Amino acid sequence: MPRFTFPAEWSRHDATWLAWPHHEPDWPGKLGPIPWVYAEIARVLAQYERVEILCHDEQVRADCEEQLRAHGVSQNVRLHLVPTDRVWLRDSAPTFVHDEAGRVHLMNWAFNAWAKYPNFARDAEVGRAIERITGLPRQEPARPDEPSARLVLEGGGIETDGEGTLLVTEEWLLSDVQVRNPGMDRDAYERAFREHLGIRETIWLGEGCVGDDTHGHVDDIARFVAPGVIVLAYEEDPADDENHRRSVDNMRRLELAGAANAALKIVRLPFPRPVTMNGDRLPASYANFYIANGVVIVPTFNDRNDRIALNALAELMPDRHVVGIHAVDLVWGFGTLHCLTQQQPAPR
């Protein structure tokens, strides 16, 4: 079996993958404006790289074409008829990896809708659709402790520097809240990460942010922005909310990892003020940004910390334009920019 490596998000992309929104229960009472937010995301990304868009059916495709046209998007975008249950391709689509020769493969994890929703049969087939569209080889990783069973993972739970280090959370994989791979322990996960992603060191954080529907995805709290540089979503105010306790714990874990690796630098990123809808706390976080060729798109929340977060990320990634995307409506779906995108790296 070839040895695979998981490239950093800032490595050169061939494309970004999206799926056009159509499932109203994901944004109860708010689906109307969501495709227009997607059109703005596509408009920004298409200036820097190709955008591949999955459309649930002919009507969704027609609506997508109309909304892209209204945003002046006519080039560098391709539409594909592929039915989906939801549109969070960070989790339902494969993770793109390199083999030893630098060729791109699809690491197609099993998908079970975060062990929360019953309707995911179409999302579970997204990997096959992308294989058909791209012609790229597709792998179906098995559990290291139970080779007859496929490994259930989601892309929002794994974050890499492209040099063999991975960030994950215990809440996502080891807590009692989620049942993705029953019986798998920390050592088994680390074996899987080594085998399928080329990971040499896994840093285990504690919990994700408050309101995270996935129960602990790392892409709402901690992200690499360069080799050895991690931004951590950090709630400074102990009176504010539960995120402060989680932030302190995750900072401690990163500092311990940094003590063993002097090259590790940790930069704090603020949280916006709490965003709620109908009394539900939503996972509003600037850490859910997405890095593409020449640009970083960052969720914003009409908050005074928007500018602080944008400026911090611009300083850390000076070779890219940093563009804010209004995400107050988008986060009602319990995810924002990183959750809905999936990068296709260029061959190495």
Residue 126 banded pLDDT, cuts 50, 70, 90: very high
Q: Answer whether residue 4 is part of any domain.
A: no
**What does the angle CA 179 – CA 184 – CA 188 come to, to the nearest 5 degrees?**
145
Q: What's the rounded mean pLDDT across residues 286-292?
A: 98
* pLDDT of 288 higher than 90: yes
* pLDDT of 118 higher than 70: yes
Q: What are φ and ψ of residue 275, in 5° steps?
A: -110, 125
Q: Answer whether residue 258 is part of any domain.
A: yes
How far apart, in whole angstroms, are the C-alpha atoms of residue 114 and residue 199? 23
- Which residues make Cβ contacts (< 8 Å) with residue 314, sequence separation at least 6? 322
Q: Answer whether residue 7 is part of any domain.
A: no
Q: Let me know if 33 is exposed, middle or buried by CB neighbors in 10 A (0-12, 13-18, 19+).
A: middle
Write out the DSSP string of 145-167: TEEEEEPB--GGG-EE-SSSEEE
* pLDDT of 172 higher than 80: yes
Instruction: State the total domains in the chain.
Output: 1
User: For 125, which DSSP code?
Assistant: G
The predicted structure's pLDDT at residue 177: 74
Q: What's the rounded mean pLDDT across residues 189-213?
A: 96
Look up the CATH number of the domain holding residue 248. Answer: 3.75.10.10
Query: What are the start-end ranges of the H helices in the chain?
Result: 34-46, 58-70, 89-92, 126-134, 170-173, 186-197, 242-260, 305-316, 337-340
* Residues that are catalytic: 339
12 residue type, one letter: R
The predicted structure's pLDDT at residue 242: 87
Q: Answer whether residue 92 is part of any domain.
A: yes
Q: What's the rounded mean pLDDT across residues 119-139?
A: 98
> The tokens of 340 are what?
């809905």
* Domain span holding position 166: 13-345
The predicted structure's pLDDT at residue 278: 86
Q: What's the rounded mean pLDDT across residues 279-289?
A: 94
**What does the angle CA 11 – CA 267 – CA 269 come to, to the nearest 5 degrees?**
95
pLDDT digits (tens, 9 = 90+) for 323-335: 999 999 999 999 9
pLDDT digits (tens, 9 = 90+) for 4-33: 999 999 999 999 999 999 999 999 889 999
The predicted structure's pLDDT at residue 195: 96
Torsion of CA 328, 332, 336, 339, to 10 degrees: 180
Q: Answer whether residue 214 is part of any domain.
A: yes
pLDDT digits (tens, 9 = 90+) for 30-62: 999 999 999 999 999 999 999 999 999 999 999
pLDDT digits (tens, 9 = 90+) for 61-74: 999 999 999 999 99
Global confidence as pTM = 0.97
